[in-house]
Chain A
């Protein structure tokens, strides 16, 4: 896809920073790209992404303009002239896709949400930096924490979910996978009981049907009933009672988008292929670890063991 470039100018260092700030006051003509940032809501993680994105792109020589939020309305004038729209969250991307035919890089959303957007707007110039961790990364963390584990259970809410890929990821890590398809929360407990009985741990995946707070609560309580640890995908899940999670912060997503932007051609940047996060954090619930008798190694060695997946 082609991106219309008004001018070429690459800015460096403090000088660039100064000019960037100056650029906010001047016409856009001095910048390489005009990048509009739209957030789903001007608060919470999406605002954190926008703030971080502003910081980490400061030296790149692009003009970064906040163009509103899905909740409070987008700035059509900014969007109309943007070379690239970076949308934080599914709602932000959806709000732009319906109104402008600008190249959109969706971030801070699940792969499933991205696929949904793409289905709805097949013609749009759209790509994404999704938040879904590679299953292998989650499973490596599981092995690092529970070296004795042999079998892991997971539930998927959609029969179309690629269970083969999950199973082969488990296989690569040396785990046998037990999965069950659960059509919704009504069948959740029965499905959980089925897989927990035969598993050493439970892998929570960000399936939209099984990720609501009430479903997460049922998963955590039932897993604890079976004394099986849960490996999850968000910090909130760990605070709520999962043993551990790998997750990517808004700041890390912003840094990855900025890194791509820095490498992209300034005249004809092409939207990257959809990708998951490279950077990640590990969260551990030490209270749960103690209650389940799980020994937690130091963070550095956990990270090293978990990173094994990414290096493959």
Chain B
């Protein structure tokens, strides 16, 4: 996207400001000549895929509702080339073009322009996002690296979750979903007074779902279960101060527990993890014209995890495993965009971000680790011909660990007709090591002794780099109700970061081996692994983050979106991917970490003005999830939804039945460990 933050950043409402509102002076109102606030600016609207300098997909409200998905990460199944998986020991994970593991830290995720990736791992805690699916207006997905526009870490994709502006809703609504296995998801929405100068929405929900039951695999090993319960509360307030200025305040909270562990297991007994995630987001925007505005935003967010258990597998030793952690991010950013002339457009911005975390067990210190990074970014769009746009952009980031990084991009967009365009873009993007990747020294302590050393940061880690090139065709034939998007891409990855197993000597007095023997760096003082105490035959080990090699990825995608009023809609996409690893790659699974093909189909059929049926089918070829994941066979998942609206014409009332994975449970993330269970639930939505 040519605009860096396609967030609908608008309007915060503070009581003190309300008195200053001068929007509507009925006595002097002149409908023909009064100024109207510029509401549909370029940053507020989704950029047409035909205009975009990179491949963009939009999941709109109709698709969200027809999909039957009740969790945000599932929506990404609708994006060409994307895969979604879940496992029992952590957050679900999303990958674009494979190379995915349990921590999806290469996809930047934003909610209304606020980056939500964890400062710790860099991944997205999808189930802890303080956001309900029902509040999402649309999801805009940049289907590839775009460091030039979004800075470091926009490495494999950028996902913008855009919530519905409170000013476009009124009244109240209740939503209730109840299904098998005690599944429930109850929510409410309440919108502020219409005549008031402040628009606001308060929404909340409580959800409980059994995601994984203990699974007994072919080897007789029992695997973990997961039941999650989350409460979410959100407040969005916006106010238009005058025709130019708007303020927005967003606050949210997600809190809950996850029941995890393996029944009867001594090493990983059943337990409950507690998580809490909060945010505060303030934004001010001044609009000068549809393509010219200034915005300033600040946000704070923090996450808290309380998790731990006692590992008694090596009795009489009792190993307390403790995963408690607190992290936070504060971010300030300003941005200015303008049209310099009909042929030139400009965007400039700067931001500063501070990330901090305190996780004693992860960093082997009780103190808080932090880092401050800053960035400047800009882009210029030049139209030398009416049909041609040249988009030059870049971000210069000063990262607290990786130093200065410059991510440039050039894109050419040539309009074949008013409705179709060819696109060519190339650039370089980076991903900086997360706090865990750059600073981890994960310890399990008993008293003053370190009994286990798990994740360890490597020395002098380089940022990951991807050089990317794509050629695409996008068309939107409005009269036919048809959108088409085709592209071919090539990406070259260097210094990819992966954690690899390394070893310590079998006996404390042995000489450490060489790195070629995959020996770990020297351990910190106090290292007395339980392997030594119990004379366990295997050597003590850690997982060491390191730059793990180079590989290239090529492939193609197409998507077709066709709709006809009264009939329905079909959204079909297909991706083919090939990964070619170089000799230096440390994990050969990389080559099979992307399925050869990924298919997604959403079929919406209007049966009558009141009845609508929809079908979602998501298929991928066999592949390997990396690290905690493993092979999963080729599989398809079929979801069905049947909905009926009722009540007065135009009301939002709906009764529906949703069946997910109707073709049975399937291997998810790790064939030997996890089975995704089918789900069946009824949903009711009532509006006033």
- Which A residues are within 8 Å of any B CB, using their own CB? 44-45, 89-91, 108, 110, 131, 146-148, 184-190, 193-195, 197-198, 206-208, 211-214, 216-218, 220-222, 224-225, 227, 233-234, 236-237, 239-241, 247, 285, 287-288, 290-296
Closest chain A residue to B8, Cβ basis: A221
Complex: A131 Cα to B478 Cα, angstroms: 32
Chain A residues in 8 Å Cβ range of B37: 213, 216-217, 240
Complex: A296 Cα to B478 Cα, angstroms: 12
Residue B304 CB within 8 A of the other chain: no
Complex: A305 Cα to B24 Cα, angstroms: 35
Say yes or no: A189 contacts B194, CB within 8 Å. yes
From known contacts A225-B137, A290-B48, A295-B419, infer whether A220 and B39 are also in contact, taking CB-CB under 8 Å: yes
Chain A residues in 8 Å Cβ range of B165: 221, 225
Chain B residues in 8 Å Cβ range of A212: 23-24, 26, 29, 34
Residue B450 CB within 8 A of the other chain: no
Complex: A236 Cα to B32 Cα, angstroms: 8
From known contacts A190-B650, A233-B32, infer whether A239 and B164 are also in contact, taking CB-CB under 8 Å: no
Say yes or no: B476 contacts A206, CB within 8 Å. no
**The one of B38, B45, B171, B650 that contacts A240, using a Cβ cutoff of 8 Å:** B38
Chain B residues in 8 Å Cβ range of A45: 30, 32-33
Other than A148-B479, A241-B290, give 19 A-B pairs with Cβ distance below 8 A: A45-B30, A189-B169, A194-B650, A212-B23, A213-B24, A213-B37, A213-B243, A218-B167, A221-B167, A225-B165, A225-B168, A234-B33, A240-B39, A247-B32, A287-B41, A287-B42, A290-B51, A291-B45, A293-B476
Per DSSP, chain B at the interface is loop
Residue B416 CB within 8 A of the other chain: no
Chain B residues in 8 Å Cβ range of A131: 32
Interface centre among B28, B34, B164, B195 (most CB of A within 10 A): B34
Chain B residues in 8 Å Cβ range of A186: 170, 193-195
Residue B181 CB within 8 A of the other chain: no
B232 to nearest A CB, angstroms? 22
Complex: A9 Cα to B197 Cα, angstroms: 56
Interface centre among A222, A234, A247, A293 (most CB of B within 10 A): A293
Complex: A284 Cα to B46 Cα, angstroms: 18
27 A-B contacts (beta carbon < 8 Å): A45-B30, A45-B33, A108-B32, A108-B33, A110-B31, A184-B195, A185-B195, A186-B170, A186-B193, A186-B194, A189-B171, A211-B31, A213-B23, A216-B36, A221-B165, A225-B137, A234-B32, A236-B34, A236-B35, A236-B36, A241-B40, A285-B290, A287-B290, A291-B40, A291-B47, A292-B48, A293-B476
Say yes or no: B290 contacts A288, CB within 8 Å. yes
A292 to nearest B CB, angstroms? 8
Complex: A213 Cα to B46 Cα, angstroms: 23
A-B pairs with lowest CB-CB distance, top 10 = A241-B40, A194-B650, A211-B31, A240-B36, A189-B170, A295-B418, A206-B31, A291-B45, A293-B476, A186-B194
**The one of A194, A208, A227 that contacts B31, using a Cβ cutoff of 8 Å:** A208
**The one of A148, A234, A241, A291 that contacts B48, using a Cβ cutoff of 8 Å:** A291
Closest chain B residue to A241, Cβ basis: B40
Q: Mark B31-73, 1 if CB is under 8 A from A, else 0.
A: 1111111111110111110110000000011000000000000
Say yes or no: A237 contacts B171, CB within 8 Å. no
Residue B630 CB within 8 A of the other chain: no
**The one of B34, B42, B60, B290 that contacts A213, using a Cβ cutoff of 8 Å:** B34
Say yes or no: A241 contacts B38, CB within 8 Å. yes
Chain A residues in 8 Å Cβ range of B650: 190, 193-195, 197-198
A305 to nearest B CB, angstroms? 16
Say yes or no: A293 contacts B419, CB within 8 Å. yes
Q: Mark B131-164, 1 if CB is under 8 A from A, else 0.
A: 0000001000000000000000000000000001
Chain A residues in 8 Å Cβ range of B193: 186
Say yes or no: B48 contacts A287, CB within 8 Å. no
Complex: A193 Cα to B645 Cα, angstroms: 14
- Which B residues are within 8 Å of any A CB, using their own CB? 23-24, 26, 28-42, 44-48, 50-51, 60-61, 137, 164-165, 167-171, 193-195, 197, 240, 243, 289-291, 418-419, 476, 478-479, 483, 649-650, 652
Complex: A190 Cα to B419 Cα, angstroms: 33
**The one of A108, A110, A188, A291 that contacts B46, using a Cβ cutoff of 8 Å:** A291
**The one of B39, B478, B649, B652 that contacts A293, using a Cβ cutoff of 8 Å:** B478
Say yes or no: B40 contacts A224, CB within 8 Å. yes
Interface centre among B50, B51, B167 (most CB of A within 10 A): B167
Complex: A89 Cα to B50 Cα, angstroms: 44
Closest chain A residue to B22, Cβ basis: A213
B133 to nearest A CB, angstroms? 16
Closest chain A residue to B339, Cβ basis: A287
Chain A residues in 8 Å Cβ range of B30: 45, 89-90
Complex: A225 Cα to B168 Cα, angstroms: 8
B299 to nearest A CB, angstroms? 22
**The one of A44, A208, A217 that contacts B167, using a Cβ cutoff of 8 Å:** A217
Say yes or no: A185 contacts B194, CB within 8 Å. yes
Chain A residues in 8 Å Cβ range of B194: 185-189
Interface centre among B33, B37, B289 (most CB of A within 10 A): B33
Interface centre among B28, B32, B41 (most CB of A within 10 A): B32
Complex: A291 Cα to B290 Cα, angstroms: 12
**The one of A236, A285, A287 that contacts B33, using a Cβ cutoff of 8 Å:** A236
Interface centre among A148, A187, A214 (most CB of B within 10 A): A214
Complex: A184 Cα to B38 Cα, angstroms: 22
B393 to nearest A CB, angstroms? 19
Complex: A131 Cα to B39 Cα, angstroms: 24
A126 to nearest B CB, angstroms? 19
Chain A residues in 8 Å Cβ range of B26: 212
Closest chain B residue to A234, Cβ basis: B32
Closest chain A residue to B27, Cβ basis: A91
A129 to nearest B CB, angstroms? 12
Chain B residues in 8 Å Cβ range of A292: 48, 478
From known contacts A221-B167, A233-B32, A239-B289, infer whether A287 and B478 are also in contact, taking CB-CB under 8 Å: no
Complex: A89 Cα to B193 Cα, angstroms: 32
Closest chain A residue to B21, Cβ basis: A214
Chain A residues in 8 Å Cβ range of B23: 212-214
Closest chain A residue to B645, Cβ basis: A197
Closest chain A residue to B475, Cβ basis: A293
Say yes or no: A224 contacts B29, CB within 8 Å. no
Say yes or no: B649 contacts A194, CB within 8 Å. yes
From known contacts A217-B240, A293-B476, infer whether A110 and B40 are also in contact, taking CB-CB under 8 Å: no
Complex: A186 Cα to B191 Cα, angstroms: 11
A179 to nearest B CB, angstroms? 12
Chain A residues in 8 Å Cβ range of B44: 224
Chain A residues in 8 Å Cβ range of B33: 44-45, 108, 234, 236
Chain B residues in 8 Å Cβ range of A287: 40-42, 45, 290-291
From known contacts A190-B650, A236-B34, A239-B290, infer whether A288 and B29 are also in contact, taking CB-CB under 8 Å: no
Chain B residues in 8 Å Cβ range of A148: 478-479
B237 to nearest A CB, angstroms? 15
Closest chain A residue to B40, Cβ basis: A241
Say yes or no: B290 contacts A211, CB within 8 Å. no
Complex: A216 Cα to B29 Cα, angstroms: 12
Complex: A285 Cα to B45 Cα, angstroms: 13
Complex: A231 Cα to B193 Cα, angstroms: 27
Say yes or no: B50 contacts A233, CB within 8 Å. no
Say yes or no: A190 contacts B170, CB within 8 Å. yes
Chain A residues in 8 Å Cβ range of B31: 110, 206-208, 211, 233-234
Say yes or no: B29 contacts A285, CB within 8 Å. no
Complex: A186 Cα to B688 Cα, angstroms: 13
Closest chain A residue to B240, Cβ basis: A217
Chain A residues in 8 Å Cβ range of B32: 45, 108, 110, 131, 206, 233-234, 247
B64 to nearest A CB, angstroms? 13
Complex: A207 Cα to B164 Cα, angstroms: 26
Say yes or no: A213 contacts B35, CB within 8 Å. yes
Complex: A128 Cα to B28 Cα, angstroms: 19
Chain A residues in 8 Å Cβ range of B35: 213, 236
Chain B residues in 8 Å Cβ range of A290: 48, 50-51
